Amino acid sequence: MSSSKRGAFIVIEGLDRSGKSTQASLLHDRLQDRQDAGATTPKVVLLKFPDRTTAIGKMIDAYLRSESELDDRAIHLLFSANRWELASTIVAHLAQGTTVLADRYAFSGIAFSARKGLSYEWCRAPEVGLPAPDLTLFLNISPDVAAARGGYGLERYEKEEVQKGVRRVFNKIGRAVQEEGEGKWVEIDAGKTKEEVAEELWKAVEPLASGVQGSISGLWEISLIPGRDTQGGT
């Protein structure tokens, strides 16, 4: 890896049962294999959001399993806080040349809460300033095809009606991300076979696999003070 390169930040988003976690794991292994073979690929870490192991993550887990009830805004902020808990870890990995793969990220946060009727802008606000992905891969699948894949589980959002609403918001987010130049958003047809989807993902990821140029920016962050460091410097 050239010394001026940092690790790439790659996010995988999608509906429940889109094959997202399987594909994230395959992608992780493929990137890792390249490194093991002595290639110049930086090593890779796979993060999963929500991270249910932290104190905040345990509250999210109880909510998703319907063991607790929380106000829509309160749970939204917990999901976001769960990402902020790992923000400095993500930046540290990227800075040392490690590729970071995230299974879900801020876009899920907006999609699942905006579907409930909360405003898009309100949902986006707590995500502003999180490390910005270089590439977001959206595994698109129609909710009825997803439902036919062995059925949804028992968690709170695993219902066809919910997934339809979430998909509509994801489509809006994808368009907004492209228009605002907030990294690259690539839509993948997740209705294809596991192998075909993996190949499509790899086509998008391979150019970033040896690291990327440029500093790590904050998601949707525009400094209103010219020249001021948007990462919080004085």
Q: Which residues bind ligand DGP (CB under 6 A)?
A: 16, 49-50, 64, 76, 79, 104, 108-109, 112-113, 155, 157
Q: Which is nearer to ligand DGP, 79 or 138 (CB)?
A: 79
CB of 74 to ligand DGP, least distance (A): 11
Task: Confirm if 218 and 87 have CB atoms less than 8 A apart.
Answer: no
Q: Which is nearer to ligand DGP, 104 or 167 (CB)?
A: 104
CB of 201 to ligand DGP, least distance (A): 17
Q: Which is nearer to ligand DGP, 109 or 133 (CB)?
A: 109
CB of 156 to ligand DGP, least distance (A): 7
CB of 22 to ligand DGP, least distance (A): 12
CB of 16 to ligand DGP, least distance (A): 5
CB of 215 to ligand DGP, least distance (A): 26
Q: Which is nearer to ligand DGP, 139 or 212 (CB)?
A: 139
Q: Which is nearer to ligand DGP, 157 or 220 (CB)?
A: 157
Q: Which is nearer to ligand DGP, 113 or 136 (CB)?
A: 113
Which residue has 């409930």 as its token pair? 116
Q: For the chain, first and last CA: distance in Å?
A: 32
Of the CA atoms within 13 Å of residue 182, those in its CB half-sphere come to 23
